[in-house]
A and B are shown apart, each in its own frame.
Chain A
């Protein structure tokens, strides 16, 4: 498919993936490619299978048909605990953080290091401290338990845990859902900073039109179980497909676009 020019090394390839839960068809022939170094967003209405696709890519779920290649390996391989040789190359931030509630924030962030490396406790502590500092959490938060943190801080903590192994790929599931606009914008900036600093490729599932405009290099819009459109936000916003237009040209979509373009909304 020649949807929107993507050049560079493909890091994720989804080929003709179909998913069915009983009689319900979630995806049909979904294909897409994520290239190294981009921020790739998966967008679409509620229940269009965005999160399902993400779960398939990271190997938590098997597609009914089709193949998914992640960092050169079949994502089905991820279902075997392989000691992390592939798992340590990507980080996942779940929608609600999925921080282990019985551990402090610092212990949470340290989990992948403890499990996958043989570094000394002191060095693990240093790396954890660096990652917590990178996501901009205050010093006293490292000793707190997840239940003592606010929603925004929990997201940051989950992000720190996702990047602790310096992954090549970072998956974000609804990173800004439920955050207030200021904190959400701060989070977007943080993702961009980290992407630049650590050379990450970011794949995110989001509804947030503001973040789509702000940070996504390319966006795929899912709907009715298939790919409705794929490309930069500008090209999608100019799309003629009625379903894509509906998604981006609701009142909020226009406001987000206006916001992004600094007030000059291209007339159409």
Chain B
């Protein structure tokens, strides 16, 4: 603590980081006399550390700025040493305190970053396309082993969760539809409702969203970690292209896996709808299936699985791209993994909406 006594500022007690808070507040609000001599009496200080030294030095500097002649007296020798340590570094310290982010420069650099990111994205798409062109004349160059492994991890292993989710969504749609259809006595239209919405939109979307969450994020994290640990650089020094080695097999695996998953999701989703239809609306399995044949045109199914490979390309490219964007530390891995999921789901839905608009123009 501290108090003024005429022209003497008495400092008492503990001036350590834990206890100096009140003294600092007092000194910050202190009305220094303009000019004249001022004595800081420190013999009452019982504990002192750099925190206390900073507070005391600030007060000394402030009083000097007001034109006072300041003397500091009575400090124990090691405390005085700390004071001289602080005053020896005072200018460097003030330079640190004065360092402020420059708003204009920050704005410019954020614009530059945005442009940079767009260009890098284009660059990545270009590089992947070139790698694809380079590999396609000689398919033996493709890493089949890695593609098959990826197919197992991202396709086969995703079967249970995809199946369960679309089954449940089939159930939910049928339940919601049943309420409305029963009012009009048009129970049999449950087939159109479940069949078309699932085959055309929901099954491919659910598949894509699951894969984006399961596999897209894994791609980003895997490639990103390889980048952080300089494994990608090691590959390049062997003359191997990371794009060819890591991106193409994954993309290929997803392009094969996602349409297949969609078909599987179609089956389970419709099955879920069928169960509810027979349970709630007295539409028997046979009635359901014969109505399905006439009501749900093949084109709905084809449009659904036709979109899947495009979703797959989006997810694989975004996941791998975000992986390559990781630089520096491990925290970047988490950040870019999140970005990869959000971005790929976003792009998948945008693409899906575009498809709907275009197909609507063509009356499909």
Contacts and interface: CB of A to CB of B under 8 A. Distances in A.
A102 B50 contact: no
Contacts of B357: none
Given A119-B51, A140-B99, A197-B81, A130 B89 contact: yes
A118 B24 CA distance: 11
Contacts of B134: none
A106 interface: yes
Interface string A112-130: 0100111110110111111
A217 interface: no
A238 interface: no
Contact of B96 (A101, A120, A139, A197): A139
A159 to B, nearest CB: 14
Nearest to B55: A123
Contacts, number: 88
A190 interface: no
Interface string B316-356: 00000000000111111000000000000000000000000
B101 interface: yes
A113 B21 CA distance: 12
Contacts of A166: 16-17, 49-51
B93 to A, nearest CB: 4
B58 A147 contact: no
Nearest to A96: B329
A65 interface: no
Size category of the B interface is 35 or more
Contacts of A102: 331
B17 A130 contact: no
Contacts of A129: 92-94, 96-97
A142 B96 CA distance: 7
B93 A130 contact: yes
B78 interface: yes
A37 to B, nearest CB: 13
Given A130-B93, A143-B101, A166-B49, A120 B21 contact: yes
Nearest to B102: A143
B114 interface: no
B9 interface: no
B50 A139 contact: no
B54 A123 contact: yes
Interface of A: 101-102, 106, 113, 116-120, 122-123, 125-134, 139-140, 142-143, 146-147, 165-166, 197-199
Q: Top 3 closest A-B pairs, CB basis?
A: A147-B328, A129-B96, A133-B92
11 contacts: A122-B28, A123-B21, A123-B55, A127-B54, A129-B94, A132-B96, A142-B99, A143-B101, A147-B328, A166-B51, A198-B50
